[in-house]
Structure 1
């Protein structure tokens, strides 16, 4: 089972992707069916019939109660699914603060933004890194880290990765007092400056 911190590394949009893929697949199948029928591959009789087929309309007319109940149930299910997906997509992401001292009256809490800023500043000290951005996510007991680094043009990625892993992330684990700090690193490579044509 995936721990909360690992699940928080890359906020999951799996449900949204699955729904989008299913809608796209249904649209593709509907389009392919319309093309096949319109081209007359299933018979010329079907190709010239209107979209609202009178036979289908007669069938629905004979089963009005069942058709209405089915339409209402389908509409309610789609409404509930849409509300669940909207709530899941819009829920705020957790950025845990770290309690260094839990003493009553004199407790010490370091905010997630302060932790992220310190890690980003540390990452920017690595040779070849032009800027960095960090985000702490997950649970307070099991935090996770998202680290984005932008590199100067010509920087060796291997060297940057070795220093990030060996120094920056090690210091972050020691500072947070955790043995493991699941981290997702996003690297943007620098490009040459564009020359203006005169």
Structure 2
């Protein structure tokens, strides 16, 4: 989701800057602007004195400008922290007993967990997300359950089968897991 939002925002900002910059450059190089354009010609300034000082005497102007800039700064900081934060664990350290250890790809462990969880009775789709640190991984599991399934039974099977196998095969002492169970939407059954 964040990747999509990131690409859309970068694309929109880039498109706006390209259009505005290209239009200002074209007018500056001597192209005749259309009648609705904000600049009249090659020697027109971007902001005239009257445009710059138009709202300066109003009491609401500076608080509105400061509030708008504060919102932009907060959105930029949120975006920066969201982009820099690592969401996925790329490697898991496995203790091999020889003192050196090995590295297991996070995607491989996610794939195995998804496959095993997806084969549980009544699970239509499983999604696994590995987080945490390489020495102490954590998982987030999302299961879409069919209507006839008991969630408690499915959760017990997930804990005793898929998660136990993953923990044992990676040589981990613990594998904390957050599980989200959702039901698959279905049509109402007719009772006769």
**TM-score class, shorter:** 0.5 to 0.7
TM-score, structure 1 normalization: 0.53
1:185 match: secondary structure? strand
How far residue 72 of structure 1 moved from its aligned partner, in angstroms, is: 6.6
Taking structure 2 as the reference length, the TM-score comes to: 0.54
Counting only pairs closer than 5 Å after superposition, residues 32-71 of structure 1 correspond to structure 2 as 61=57
Q: 2:88 aligns with which of 71, 87, 94?
A: 94
Kindly state the Cα deviation for residue 193 of structure 1 after the two structures are TM-superposed: 5.2
Provide, for residues 58-77 of structure 1, a one-character-per-residue CA deviation record: whole Å limited to 9, x for no partner. Answer: xx8498xxx85x67765554
Partner SS state of residue 137, structure 1: strand
Residue of 108, 112, 132 corresponding to 2:106: 112
Structure 2 segments unaligned to the other structure (5+ residues): 1-55
- Root mean square deviation of aligned Cα: 3.4
1:128/1:152 contact within 8 Å kept? yes
| Greater Cα offset, 74-83 or 113-122 | 74-83
User: Using CA pairs below 8 Å that are at least 6 residues apart, which structure has the higher relative contact order?
Assistant: 1
> In the alignment, does 2:172 pair up with 1:181?
no
* Greater percentage in helix: 1
> Can you list the C-alpha shifts for 1:26-81, whole angstroms capped at 9, x where unaligned?
xxxxxxxxxxxxxxxxxxxxxxxxxxxxxxxxxx8498xxx85x677655544432
- 1:154-175 Cα shifts (integer Å, max 9, x gaps): 1111211111122222222222
Gaps of 5+ in 1: 1-59
Q: Which residue of 2 aligns with 1:37?
A: none
